[in-house]
Amino acid sequence: AQKVTQAQTEISVVEKEDVTLDCVYETRDTTYYLFWYKQPPSGELVFLIRRNSFDEQNEISGRYSWNFQKSTSSFNFTITASQVVDSAVYFCALSEASFGNEKLTFGTGTRLTIIP
């Protein structure tokens, strides 16, 4: 069975600080996909990144960066120079790598509050 653990329930940081959201996963699959989604108060889940298990390169997109470490089954998400608009609940998710299978197993989320 697949499992995603986000141990940080809530995090608060002052604007412009850097913040890292942790994600640890469990799966018996050798090939799988990892995702991060942002959920603002409106409720819609906003896709941030997808990473397959073969690609352990870190990725940077503007102020966002992701660190994938297969050895520790972690896929952490860092926001640099945080802004108030980053306040939201962030979910890490895992999917098996079946053709066209988009079934996602989500963690319980981390509520991030950026204090102005």
Partner 1 sequence: ETGVTQSPTHLIKTRGQQVTLRCSSQSGHNTVSWYQQALGQGPQFIFQYYREEENGRGNFPPRFSGLQFPNYSSELNVNALELDDSALYLCASSSRQGWVTEAFFGQGTRLTVV
Residues in the site for partner 1, rule: CB under 8 A?
A: 4, 33, 35, 37, 42-47, 50, 52, 91, 93, 95-109
Q: Cβ closer to partner 1: 4 or 19?
A: 4
- Is the CB of residue 51 less than 8 Å from the CB of residue 33? yes
| Closest distance to partner 1 from the beta carbon of 20 (Å) | 19
Q: Cβ closer to partner 1: 32 or 79?
A: 32
- Is the CB of residue 71 less than 8 Å from the CB of residue 93? no
Instruction: Report how far residue 73's alpha carbon sits from residue 70's, in angstroms, rounded to the nearest whole number.
Output: 5
| Closest distance to partner 1 from the beta carbon of 17 (Å) | 25
- Is the CB of residue 63 less than 8 Å from the CB of residue 51? no
| Closest distance to partner 1 from the beta carbon of 19 (Å) | 19
Q: Cβ closer to partner 1: 19 or 89?
A: 89
Q: Cβ closer to partner 1: 37 or 68?
A: 37
| Closest distance to partner 1 from the beta carbon of 39 (Å) | 9
Beta-carbon contacts of 48 under 8 Å, excluding residues fewer than 6 positions away, are 35, 36, 37, 38, 64, 77
- Tell me which residue of 26, 42, 28, 21 sits closest to 91, measured CA to CA: 21
